[in-house]
Amino acid sequence: MTQRIAVVGTGYVGLVCGACFAKLGHSVVCVDRDADKVKALQSGVVTIFEPGLETLVFDQMSAGRLSFTTDTAAAVRGADLVFVAVGTPPEPKTGNPDLTAVLAVTDAVADAAEGFTLLVTKSTVPVGTARRIESRIAGRRAGVDIAVASNPEFLREGAAVADFLEAERIVVGTRDKRALEALKAVYAPLIEKGSVLVATTPETSELVKHASNAFLSTKIAFINEMARLCEKVGADVEMVAHGMGLDARIGPEFLKPGPGYGGSCFPKDALALVNAARDAGSPLSIVETVLAANQWHKHAMVTKIGDVVGGLDGKRIGVLGIAFKSGTDDVREAPSLTIIAELVKGGAIVTAYDPEAMDNARPLLNGISYADDALGVADQADAVVILTEWPEFRTLDFAAMRARMRRPALIDLRNVVKPETARAAGLVLYPLGKPPRA
Ligand code: UDX
């Protein structure tokens, strides 16, 4: 059954969800206070780098199911469900998510709602936020008929549209029966196709999101630790991960070693969870350790690079990849930022290249230069270091790279280069969690 939906906040999450709700057949209005952004979207311009999103937005607008506005009150009045997808950036001092924008939307919905309205949090919020929203609404406008629900997203950057439309699970937390029915109707096409509905309380739903991200972070921190151990004892971390992953209780996913996890979610969400758990009087020793382990791992990667080149001071290091993962121009919490800053602090002369993320990196990285193409980082280099698994880094002209370098060290912290490829080019390959290959 078609639902009338308003999505407040047309950032990454809001725009993907809005366009996908329209694709499911609903009538969707996306709201943003940034008039320029709304104007651009109204003319079909999508500035977010996300496969399939621009076409989806265009198609849904053409079909008359998706529109954009700056008028929150009007959008709320015309909606059965209002999804809150505004940002919750970390507060500089505590690292806790800043809920100012979420609470402002809550007030706007409380003021404008006409008839039964469902307010749904899509933004990642700390456990207890739905309860806080419920009491805020009750305090602001007595008698208004608004139900609150939590419905977290599990979208990966670079795969967000597919993650939405082929969701493994849809988590809904609410204390209101009507709210559950409305959300079932919203997601009916996906549930019919096999997405599992997890219907629970708001507190549990909020925690599913945080616990999932913390668990995935734990898997990565764990395999990164194993990678470092493998290097010491002469084992191969990829075979260790393969052997572990065949046990269905463990699974093969998220066991790829790298220079540390990053992005807009994992580091921020784990910190928020740790703080919320401390406040609740139930500290999370494992998640706290994972946060520290990820920091430590980045330092260990700098030590590894320093060991290969025989001390960083005065050495030329070429860095391939700045984005926190491939397929995105996002550098938020990217391990490259810490690793490059430490290389520079150690006296190294760094030249970096990334196919998408250099514009975003420039304001955040001081004292380095940028190359126009991947091979440009190799000029007179004592080592080239791969930090992001961009597909193009697998198939570079490694012989040409070697010819431009002072010394032949290729430090592959994503394990994307085949040993035989490096050998044929005359490079010494230093993978992560495996023995070096000359
Ligand atoms: C993540 C979650 O996957 C998603 O469900 C949630 O909603 C938002 O956070 P995203 O930040 O887009 O999505 O990145 P993801 O693809 O999960 O990777 C996170 C980080 O872990 C990256 O830095 C990536 O390079 C690293 N990673 C991932 C590894 O180092 N090894 C792995 O095996 C997997």
Domain segments of the chain: what residues?
4-200, 245-431
Q: What is the model's pLDDT at position 229? A: 98
Instruction: State in Å: Cα 405 to ligand 1 middle.
Output: 32
Residue 109 has pLDDT above 90, yes or no: yes
The model's pLDDT over 259-317, given as tens digits with 9 standing for 90+, comes to: 999 999 999 999 999 999 999 999 999 999 999 999 999 999 999 999 999 999 999 99
Residue 297, ligand 1, Cβ within 6 A: no
Residues paired with residue 97 on neighbouring β-strands, in sequence order: 90
Residue 351 has pLDDT above 90, yes or no: yes
Q: Are 172 and 198 in contact (CB under 8 A)?
A: yes
Report the percent of the chain where pLDDT is more than 90.
95
Q: DSSP assignment of 31-54, as one string?
A: E-S-HHHHHHHHTT---S--TTHH
Q: Are 382 and 410 in contact (CB under 8 A)?
A: no
Q: Which CATH number is correct for 4-200, 3.40.190.10, 3.40.50.720, 3.40.50.1000, 3.30.2320.80? A: 3.40.50.720
The three-state secondary structure class of 67 is: strand
Q: What is the model's pLDDT at position 65? A: 98
Question: Is 18 known as a binding-site position?
Answer: no
Q: What is the DSSP letter of 248?
A: T
Instruction: State in Å: Cα 157 to ligand 1 middle.
Output: 8
The model's pLDDT over 14-37, given as tens digits with 9 standing for 90+, comes to: 999 999 999 999 999 999 999 999
Residue 265, ligand 1, Cβ within 6 A: yes
Structure tokens that stand for 180 in this block: 């559950």
Do the domains at 4-200 and 245-431 have one common CATH topology?
yes
Q: Are 163 and 327 in contact (CB under 8 A)?
A: no
Q: What is the model's pLDDT at position 283? A: 98
Residue 344 has pLDDT above 90, yes or no: yes
Residue 354 has pLDDT above 90, yes or no: yes
Nearest to 388, CA basis, from 300, 322, 297: 322
If you take atom 13 of ligand 1, which residue's CA is the nearest one?
156
Mean pLDDT along residues 111-115: 95
Q: What is the model's pLDDT at position 49? A: 81
Q: Are 68 and 22 in contact (CB under 8 A)?
A: no
Question: Please, which pLDDT band fits residue 95 given cuts at 50, 70 and 90?
Answer: confident
| ipTM, two decimals | 0.95
Mean pLDDT along residues 314-339: 96
> What is the model's pTM?
0.95
- Report how far residue 302's alpha carbon sits from residue 306's, in angstroms, rounded to the nearest whole number: 6
Mean pLDDT along residues 404-422: 98
**Residue 230 a catalytic site member:** no
Residues paired with residue 411 on neighbouring β-strands, in sequence order: 385, 430
Question: Is 56 known as a binding-site position?
Answer: no
Return the CATH class of domain 245-431: alpha beta
The model's pLDDT over 38-80, given as tens digits with 9 standing for 90+, comes to: 999 999 999 888 889 999 999 999 999 999 999 999 999 999 9
